[in-house]
Structures are given as structure tokens and as C-alpha cells.
Amino acid sequence: MDRTLKSFSLILSYPTRELQHAMPEIGGVLASDTRLTATARRALRPLVEELDGRDIYDLQETYVMLFDRSRTLSLNLFEHVHGESRDRGGAMVSLVETYREAGFDPVTSELPDHLPVLLEFLATRSYAEAKETLADAAHIFEALNARLNRRESPYAAVFAGLLQFAGGAANTEAVAEMLAQPDDDPTDLEALDEVWEESEVLFGPDPNAGCPQVRDMLSRMDPPFNPAPRNAAE
């Protein structure tokens, strides 16, 4: 198992006391992986220290405000590719079918495209395969990194680290298109209600609908994996 990708999966998950108890080990893994530059490893320290020592309820509130109440920071990858279009349903079906063909039934309440779930999977694959898959989503990581840096969030360092794992530059046009969308204000509840008025996500008959980059990413997900539930940490 790739312990660094596993660690990234855990620290992007909803904070729990179990996660806090695991932070010394997770911090040690991230600090010792030479695939990350020294600068990247140093940048991860504030997040590790915050998750280790900050009040758990403050951590949970911060997480929800960032990732659950800000659509532009969503950890569901297809949200950034398809929004609520029918193509998203097709891509989700493709991913679910990939899991089923591998004999895997995710033990989680999260959607299949949730980034911690993807990282949990990639931790079981070879580094070369994980690198290819992460490269397909590099533009998403770059945009999330930029948005989190604007908010001075230590979570930005995780996406900088994922970009290093991807091993290549993100598509600048795709990044610019994502960043052209206005940031959500998680404190504006009325505006958020309007933004999150979701149309039904239709799991249509075409599992190959959607972005070619995402199809390529999904096509490499053939073996089973066993991610932990949202509130569990290893």
C-alpha cells in the first residue's frame, strides 16, 4: 500500500477523534516521503499540526464550511467536470460499474467520485498507475489548491502534494475555466440554497458519457479496494 496516498485520503476525510489519534503516524509518513519536495513536506506541517491539536468541533466546522458548503471546493470530482448534468450520472454509473466488476461494494456514505475514496483506491495500486490517474485530475487539484490558498487554508498543501504526485503541469485552460467561476460564500445561506438546488442526477443508460479525461481515469480502476467509512480513520 502507498502510505502517502493513504495519508492524503485520511486527512481529506471528515475529521474525527480517531483521525486525530492517527495524526502523529500520518505526519511521519508525509514528512519522510522523498517523492514530495522538502518545500511540499514543510507546507503540510501546519495542517498536520492543526488536525492533531485543534479542537475537534472546530475542525469539523471548518471542514464542512470548506468542502461541504462550498461547491467550488467540492471533493466530489465529477462536480467540477459535469456539475449536475446528465453526463455526471453517466460517469457515476461507469465508476459504480467499475467497482462492481471488481467485486467491490464501497462501505461508505460518500459518492464514488469522492476524492478520499479515489485516493484510498489509488493507495492500493502501483505508483505509476496512481500517477497516471492523478494526472487526469491535475487541473482540478490546481484549481482547488489556488482557491484554498486564497482562503489561507492549510488544506491547500494536500493539493500541492497531489500535483507533485501527478508529475505534470495541469491544463492551464481547464484551470482558468474553473477559477473563472466565482467562489461560494459559505456564510450566505440564501445564495447557497440557490446554488445547491440540484436537479436530479440521472444515472442514464450511457455509462460512457462525459469527459474523456475522466473516462480514462475510470478505465484504469479495475481491482477492488476497501475504503473506510467517512467517520473512520486507520
199 in any annotated domain = yes
Residue 25 domain-assigned?
Answer: yes
**Which secondary-structure segment (H or E) carries 57?**
helix 56-63
Rg of the chain taking only CA atoms, in angstroms: 17
Q: Is 61 a domain residue?
A: yes
Lowest mean per-residue pLDDT among 117-121, 182-186, 223-227: 223-227
Residue 141 to residue 164: CA distance in whole angstroms = 10
Residue 105: exposed, middle, or buried by beta-carbon count in 10 A (0-12, 13-18, 19+)? exposed
Q: Is the pLDDT of residue 67 over 70?
A: yes
Residue pLDDT, tens place only, 31-65:
999 999 999 999 999 999 999 999 999 999 999 99
Supply the pLDDT for residue 88. Answer: 66
Residue numbers of the domain that contains 67: 3-219
Q: Please report whether residue 208 resides in a domain.
A: yes
Q: Identify the weakest region by mean pLDDT among 42-46, 172-176, 179-183, 203-207.
A: 203-207
Cell of 65: 464550511
Q: Is residue 185 one of the residues assigned to a domain? A: yes
Which three cell numbers mark 151? 482562503
Exposure pattern of 215-225 as b/e (b: 16+ CB <10 Å)? bebbeebeeeb
CA 82 – CA 13 distance, rounded (Å): 22
Residue 122 included in any domain:
yes
In a domain, 234, yes or no: no
Question: What is the pLDDT, as a whole number, of residue 59?
Answer: 98
Read off φ and ψ for residue 109, nearest 5 degrees: -90, -5
Calpha distance 107→64 (Å, rounded): 21
Look up cell 486527512; give the residue. Answer: 11
- pLDDT reported for residue 129: 82
Distances (CA, A) of 193 to 50, 199, 224: 30, 13, 37
pLDDT digits 0-9 by tens, 128-177: 988 988 998 999 999 999 999 999 999 999 999 999 999 878 889 989 98
**What mean pLDDT do residues 219-233 have?**
38
Supply the pLDDT for residue 78. 79
Report the number of distinct structural domains present in the chain.
Answer: 1
Q: Residue 195 pLDDT > 70, yes or no?
A: no
pLDDT in tens, 83-126: 555 566 677 777 677 667 656 566 777 777 889 988 988 888 78
Name residues whose C-beta falls within 8 Å of residue 28's C-beta, 6 or more positions apart in sequence: none
Residue 232 in domain: no
Instruction: Determine the pLDDT at residue 215.
Output: 38
**Whether the predicted pLDDT of 4 surpasses 80:** yes
- Which of residues 123 and 195 earns the better pLDDT score? 123
Nearest alpha carbon to residue 52 among 7, 29, 18: 18
Report the C-alpha dihedral over residues 104, 135, 123, 84, rounded to 10 degrees.
Answer: -40
**Cβ contacts of residue 132 below 8 Å, gap of 6+?**
220
